[in-house]
Chains A and B, each alone.
Chain A
């Protein structure tokens, strides 16, 4: 089995759907769309098994040369190692489930084929990204997923707001990509290759730790990761990206694409280890982002925006883990997050469809009875997101991060506190959303209940959101390390600063308590004392704070004022091209001269004679001047 097949199959699916968009009927499109992903998933599983039995040897396939010029050489090299396998499996399996769900969700969409073509294209690009053996191919996937994200956010193209959100997503991530491109140039300049194993190998020889160049490179790579993963300061595009169809939000903006940054940093962890400053920056960005996004999520009214901010916040956790050197913890959280966030998005989608495309949580409520199945899966998702102890996957992955943010070599007590604050916020906003949607009085009628194609993926994910946590249990609870063992060949184990069982207990207990406390607060806020709370919330200062948070801490406004508006303004005023004015001005001056001189051509005979006389006077004057004076 060739690893290259895994991304190739979805690409072929996308290609077929693009060419045959007129010929296939709805069923044909569904079969190709979902089938290609299923096939990719099967191939991925087979290769993963092969890899597992093979031992630690990565499977690398050179599928062809790409370009070779003047000492620069790259090819289509695909790599399956422990890290890729994790990502590939998550992408194909969750991707498949979301495709199945989408076939139900998008059932009434006239542009059904286009949707699935883009989705398949996305999966292909994403798989390329995580399987690339060189950074250029990774960049190819990186930009490819950006394109698909753009296409799918703007899928309903008739609304200009969607187009705006789509372009914003593309352009903001492109800013990060630019940084990453420069990192590639620098890496090539110093290491002479863009092949990932090669440059990681070389980098340890070339640079010692804390070298200035490697720090810059790591920071630039971080810039790329930050753009794609919607971290501070490039996080603004993700909430707007919710303009796309819900399966898109689930697949691209929750489960897979936005975690590409995590993948990139994990993949190039050697570089970050050489640049502790960059690594600390990563952790700081993660910590700040997770808290800021948590506050923003707390005050949203749109259910999808809550989930979007929560995604930003959860990826913040992953970055925090990466920054602390807890590589496998970050990847572990990626896995569980992919499961429960996809679950939450799709469940939210089910609710939205049921309420006839109503996304405002304050117009929902009391849906517990109406949508009992959705209620349960949503509850599981929320529990996992809020990290309710022992039974949810989210608990194990997040707790590991919280603990390591203090105890790992790169950790700090400040990170730990931020992570704990994040845990409290997560509990609060998650269950605020949950209670608002399912409790209270019924405000909007349910139109129709989701069908099987939408519910089955939800059940599967609900199960995964629960059991996926058990592959990695902390010291205090059984100490299962299946996952980190698996990643051992690629990602080094975390080096600990503090190793105390008691401390770990305390941390876990604290985070669990905070999560539960958050839920309790949410319960009190939404269900128990809605009146009292609303009085509190109506206070002017609180109102202002709510607005400020719900606008995402006004980062949008900041960028508008600093970058977007000046650019647009400058280009507007310069629409006629100032330099052209120079040339047209020159032409106008010539024309003016022409007019002036033409006026001397009066046609009056005496005028001409006067000219002759003037000339004679002048010539004689010069003559006299030169000869006699």
Chain B
């Protein structure tokens, strides 16, 4: 029941903040913030309650028939992985509301409606155990996100929004086909119509069929992840989205792809997934190196950060198909830390844009003089992004690489070289933005109180994950990974 409450709170708050936004902008913002904080509180409670008992894998289950005739049910369940993802969702969601406090001044109510609706969809994706419902939530994330980019974005927002929508929608349709295929094959083999994840888990099917259905799921998730060569929607969408949109995109939406691979592709089609593992790992490595190289070349700050996402999510793909527990733990870690660090970088880029009204690296430089606090924060997250030990990303990347080494030596070596590339592009951010000569005399204020709160929260989390990742690792340990 608590799972349904999580979704309903967001849904209700979304409607409420829209209505309230007509009268008062502040009310809309507060409603959004409070709903997310309440959810965050609930999740924190759940986590504390379950942090010691590792008795059962599924902490909560909720099941209600929806369309029993077709075997569709309202089936929600939470395990460690869902819980971690939800914690990240609500944390970043709250920050997204905070960061748009001053940035968004038009159609405030509708903005928060969309934001909460996206988060609602993401929550659903992380919780649902019914494939039909999963597809429903999967599509539900898209449309408000489309509006977020298309209405409150930067100058090329419509192009970016359309591109985002087309790519993810195309992937989603493939997934729908695969879901229906699985549904009918299950019916043919067992004479039961069901969309239930647990029932579908051990559907007997021919290797040929399994391969194609797996591809349908995998491509949808690869588009979302995004893996090369399906990544090209990402830089545009990230660049053009408002800061909150970028944070939600990078921090959460990409994670649904990774989550999908861990939750659906691997358990549903273990044999086919094992078969395609080398290819998938190769795609991950290509993503790491290619994304890094593209990031290095960019002159638009947000675009640069967007490409670093491609690079970082390559590690997720690499680890997910390494089929051993260390790598899986690393993948879960990477999902969380990438959400935090890249989200933080987008927040910094947004704050910078608010101040100097440009994202062009060529027009920046020497800003440390004016913005030492922002510079320090940027330094921390840049270091996180290049994998400095002591910050969360290092733990994640190290575990992924350590795990994938057991699976494939050559690809792991290439991925490790990606760390050098990461250094190159990460340091470029610092050099171009905060160091170097100061051509333009920007007279801009440093971080204000609200931004400081956001940044400090993020810094604390990333350091906590870097020095004491054990709670997260313990929680994600509880999952039945497919280990070869």
Instruction: Quote the shortest CB–CB distance from A124 to chain B (angstroms).
Output: 11
Report if A540 contacts B (CB, 8 A). no
Chain A residues near B412 (CB, 8 Å)? 182, 185
Q: A67-B470, A571-B294, A575-B294 are in contact. Are A174 and B423 (CB under 8 A)?
A: yes
- Total count of chain A residues near the partner, CB < 8 A: 53
Chain B residues near A574 (CB, 8 Å)? 293-294, 297
Q: A178-B419, A571-B293 are in contact. Are A170 and B436 (CB under 8 A)?
A: no
The answer to whether B435 and A154 touch across the interface, beta carbons within 8 angstroms, is yes
Chain B residues near A174 (CB, 8 Å)? 419-420, 423
Report if A610 contacts B (CB, 8 A). no
Report if B424 contacts A (CB, 8 A). yes
Additional A-B contacts beyond A144-B388, A181-B419, A571-B294 (16; CB < 8 A): A65-B468, A66-B468, A70-B324, A70-B325, A70-B326, A72-B326, A151-B379, A154-B431, A157-B368, A157-B436, A158-B436, A160-B436, A163-B431, A170-B423, A170-B427, A171-B424
Instruction: Quote the shortest CB–CB distance from A152 to chain B (angstroms).
Output: 13
Q: Give a binary string over A134-157; 1 marks a CB under 8 Å from any B CB, 0 the rest.
A: 001001100110010011001001
The answer to whether A178 and B416 touch across the interface, beta carbons within 8 angstroms, is yes
- Total count of chain B residues near the partner, CB < 8 A: 59
Instruction: Quote the shortest CB–CB distance from B396 to chain A (angstroms).
Output: 10
A103 vs B242: C-alpha distance when bound (angstroms): 45
List 5 contacting pairs A-B, 8 Å CB cutoff, sorted by A. Answer: A174-B420, A178-B416, A182-B412, A574-B294, A582-B229
Instruction: Quote the shortest CB–CB distance from A59 to chain B (angstroms).
Output: 23
Report if A189 contacts B (CB, 8 A). yes
**Closest residue on chain A to residue B469 by CB atoms:** A67
Contact of A144 among B231, B326, B389, B435 (CB under 8 A): B389
- Most chain B CB within 10 A, of A166, A188, A583, is at A583
Contact of A579 among B232, B297, B390, B406 (CB under 8 A): B232
Q: A163-B435, A167-B427 are in contact. Are A18 and B376 (CB under 8 A)?
A: yes
The answer to whether B470 and A140 touch across the interface, beta carbons within 8 angstroms, is no
Instruction: Quote the shortest CB–CB distance from A430 to chain B (angstroms).
Output: 34
A143 vs B477: C-alpha distance when bound (angstroms): 28
A18 vs B416: C-alpha distance when bound (angstroms): 31
Report if B348 contacts A (CB, 8 A). no
Q: Which of B73-81, B110-118, B397-405 contacts A (4 or more CB under 8 A)?
A: B397-405
Q: Give a binary string over B363-391; 1 marks a CB under 8 Å from any A CB, 0 the rest.
A: 00010110010001001000100001110
A71 vs B395: C-alpha distance when bound (angstroms): 15
Chain A residues near B389 (CB, 8 Å)? 136, 139-140, 143-144
Instruction: Quote the shortest CB–CB distance from A15 to chain B (angstroms).
Output: 11
The answer to whether B436 and A69 touch across the interface, beta carbons within 8 angstroms, is no
Q: A70-B329, A157-B368, A579-B232 are in contact. Are A65 and B401 (CB under 8 A)?
A: no
A170 vs B434: C-alpha distance when bound (angstroms): 17
Report if B467 contacts A (CB, 8 A). yes
Chain B residues near A188 (CB, 8 Å)? 402, 405
A571 vs B296: C-alpha distance when bound (angstroms): 7
A184 vs B399: C-alpha distance when bound (angstroms): 11
The answer to whether A157 and B434 touch across the interface, beta carbons within 8 angstroms, is yes
Instruction: Quote the shortest CB–CB distance from A190 to chain B (angstroms).
Output: 11
Report if B473 contacts A (CB, 8 A). yes
The answer to whether B413 and A182 touch across the interface, beta carbons within 8 angstroms, is yes
Contact of B388 among A72, A143, A181, A570 (CB under 8 A): A143
- Most chain B CB within 10 A, of A154, A163, A177, is at A163
A68 vs B399: C-alpha distance when bound (angstroms): 10
The answer to whether B293 and A567 touch across the interface, beta carbons within 8 angstroms, is yes
A582 vs B328: C-alpha distance when bound (angstroms): 33
Interface residues of B in 455-484 (CB under 8 A from A): 467-470, 473, 477
Report if B249 contacts A (CB, 8 A). no
Report if B144 contacts A (CB, 8 A). no
A177 vs B366: C-alpha distance when bound (angstroms): 29
Chain A residues near B325 (CB, 8 Å)? 69-71
Instruction: Quote the shortest CB–CB distance from B369 to chain A (angstroms).
Output: 8
Report if B437 contacts A (CB, 8 A). yes
Q: A163-B431, A171-B427, A570-B293 are in contact. Are A69 and B477 (CB under 8 A)?
A: yes
Chain B residues near A72 (CB, 8 Å)? 326, 399, 402
Q: Give a binary string over B229-242; 1 marks a CB under 8 Å from any A CB, 0 the rest.
A: 10110010000000
A147 vs B379: C-alpha distance when bound (angstroms): 10
Instruction: Quote the shortest CB–CB distance from B443 to chain A (angstroms).
Output: 17
Chain B residues near A158 (CB, 8 Å)? 366, 369, 435-438
Q: Give a binary string over A549-580; 1 marks a CB under 8 Å from any B CB, 0 the rest.
A: 00000000000000000011011101101011
